[in-house]
């Protein structure tokens, strides 16, 4: 395959550069041809992915975290939808690394090289959303959420990356809990109001994990054409702390103030005027409520 490696040199406080060296060594040993294009700043991975798609690249290998993968997926957007594009290979090397966990990928660059060379494909759904009445759609391949998760992501993005994914997100969550107040929202799934009231967080899940290893949607299948909508309702501080331990194990769905829905179209709006309910999309901060989201089935081919 005509392969291009998109490298975020700052991902994981430089761990991506180590991953690149190991990936190149594994590919060179098999005589595989590739090119390497590093990103130079925020959103540059979107430009590189779009140029690769237009240039006939057959496979994109992405070295970075969930945020870099998210930027690359934006490069598949065209005319408000998802265009056919290169196969996607994920080489985890960032702070989070949640997207890979649904597929059981390790964080080994050598394993990523084996996926590249074997070429086994899984067609994966992509979520699209309109956020805060902005003119352009955004895409998410893993999880879009709002509530304390948006505030947490804001804090994690400002905090130290050397802590590693789980520790960085745990610290961000604890900091967010100190200031976040449950926001009242109206949530619709496929046109039906399923929740109207305060929320701790709501996750629109294509994949299973977010927040540095929390298995928020243990039954989510990124190839079933549906989003799992997990609602953590009006939780107090003690409840949320106790529940967070269960979420890491995916053992929270039967607990009070937790509900799950499935659907293809989701709408959410804040009910308290002037309140900013922040959105997290695969580790990025695209804005705040209101939002409208929907799923595009089998949108991208992922090498597994």
CATH classification at residue 65:
3.40.50.10330
> Furthest-apart CA pair in the chain: how many Å?
60
Beta strands 143-147; 87-92: pairing state: unpaired
Per-residue model confidence (pLDDT) at position 162: 60
Beta strands 34-38; 3-7: pairing state: parallel
103 and 68 share one domain = yes
150 and 45 share one domain = no
Answer yes or no: is pLDDT of 153 > 80: no
How far is it, in rounded angstroms, from Cα 78 to Cα 74? 9
DSSP string, 135-169: SS-EEESSEEEEEHHHHHHHHHHHS-STT-HHHHH
Per-residue model confidence (pLDDT) at position 163: 60
Per-residue model confidence (pLDDT) at position 35: 97
Per-residue model confidence (pLDDT) at position 178: 73
230 and 256 share one domain = yes
Q: Which residues contact 195 (CB under 8 A, 6 or more apart)?
A: 185, 186, 187, 202, 231, 233, 259
- Judge whether 211 and 149 are in contact, CB under 8 Å: yes
Per-residue model confidence (pLDDT) at position 176: 76
Beta strands 284-288; 278-281: pairing state: antiparallel
35 and 132 share one domain = no
Answer yes or no: is pLDDT of 256 > 70: yes
Per-residue model confidence (pLDDT) at position 166: 60
- For the stretch 40-78, pLDDT in tens is 999 999 999 999 999 999 999 999 999 999 999 999 999
**Which of 68, 87, 119 lies at the terminal end of a domain, its last residue?**
119
Per-residue model confidence (pLDDT) at position 28: 96
Q: How many structural domains is the chain composed of?
A: 2
How far is it, in rounded angstroms, from Cα 50 to Cα 39? 13
- For the stretch 162-199, pLDDT in tens is 665 567 767 777 777 778 889 999 999 999 999 999 99
Instruction: Report the pLDDT averaged over residues 8-28.
Output: 92
Per-residue model confidence (pLDDT) at position 12: 79
Instruction: Report the pLDDT averaged over residues 25-37.
Output: 95
Instruction: Report the pLDDT averaged over residues 150-165.
Output: 68
* Structural domain boundaries enclosing 45: 3-119
- For the stretch 92-130, pLDDT in tens is 998 778 999 999 999 899 999 999 999 899 999 999 999
pLDDT band at 253 (very low <50, low <70, confident <90, very high): very high
Per-residue model confidence (pLDDT) at position 177: 73
Q: Which residues contact 198 (CB under 8 A, 6 or more apart)?
A: 182, 183, 184, 185, 233, 234
Answer yes or no: is pLDDT of 249 > 80: yes
Beta strands 59-64; 87-92: pairing state: parallel
Strands across the sheet containing 278-281: 258-263, 227-232, 201-205, 143-147, 278-281, 284-288
- Judge whether 6 and 71 are in contact, CB under 8 Å: no
Any idea which of 35-44, 73-82, 215-224, 280-289 has the lowest mean pLDDT? 280-289
pLDDT band at 272 (very low <50, low <70, confident <90, very high): confident
Per-residue model confidence (pLDDT) at position 18: 95
Answer yes or no: is pLDDT of 154 > 80: no
How far is it, in rounded angstroms, from Cα 67 to Cα 244? 23
179 and 247 share one domain = yes
Answer yes or no: is pLDDT of 158 > 70: no
109 and 244 share one domain = no
**Which of 88, 119, 150 lies at the terminal end of a domain, its last residue?**
119
User: 303 lies in a domain?
Assistant: no
290 cis-preceded (ω within 30 degrees of 0) = yes
CATH classification at residue 212:
2.60.200.40
Instruction: Report the pLDDT averaged over residues 230-247.
Output: 92
């Amino acid at each position: 395959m005509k392969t291009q490696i998109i490298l975020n040199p700052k991902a994981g406080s430089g761990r991506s550069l180590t991953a690149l060296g190991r990936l190149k060594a594994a590919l060179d040993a098999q005589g595989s041809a590739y090119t390497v294009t590093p990103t130079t700043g925020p959103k540059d991975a979107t430009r590189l992915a779009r140029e690769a798609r237009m240039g006939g690249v057959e496979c994109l290998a992405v070295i970075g975290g969930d945020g870099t993968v998210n930027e690359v997926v934006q490069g598949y957007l065209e005319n408000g939808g998802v265009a056919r594009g290169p196969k996607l290979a994920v080489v985890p090397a960032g702070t989070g690394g949640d997207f890979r966990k649904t597929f059981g990928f390790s964080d080994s660059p050598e394993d990523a090289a084996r996926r590249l060379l074997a070429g086994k494909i899984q067609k994966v759904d992509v979520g699209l959303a309109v956020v805060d009445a902005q003119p352009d759609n955004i895409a998410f391949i893993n999880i879009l959420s709002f509530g304390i998760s948006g505030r947490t992501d804001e804090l994690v993005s400002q905090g130290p990356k050397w802590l590693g994914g789980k520790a960085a997100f745990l610290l961000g969550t604890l900091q967010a809990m100190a200031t976040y107040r449950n926001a009242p929202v109206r949530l619709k799934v496929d046109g039906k109001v399923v929740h109207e009231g305060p929320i701790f967080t709501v996750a629109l899940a294509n994949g299973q994990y977010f927040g540095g290893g929390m298995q928020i949607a243990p039954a989510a299948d990124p190839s079933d054409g549906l989003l799992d909508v997990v609602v953590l309702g009006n939780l107090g501080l003690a409840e949320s702390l106790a529940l967070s331990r269960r979420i890491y194990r995916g053992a929270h769905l039967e607990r009070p103030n937790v509900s799950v829905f499935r659907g293809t179209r989701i709408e959410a709006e804040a009910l308290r005027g002037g309140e900013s309910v922040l959105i997290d999309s695969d580790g990025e901060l695209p804005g705040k409520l209101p939002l409208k989201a929907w799923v595009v089935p089998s949108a991208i081919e992922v090498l597994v």
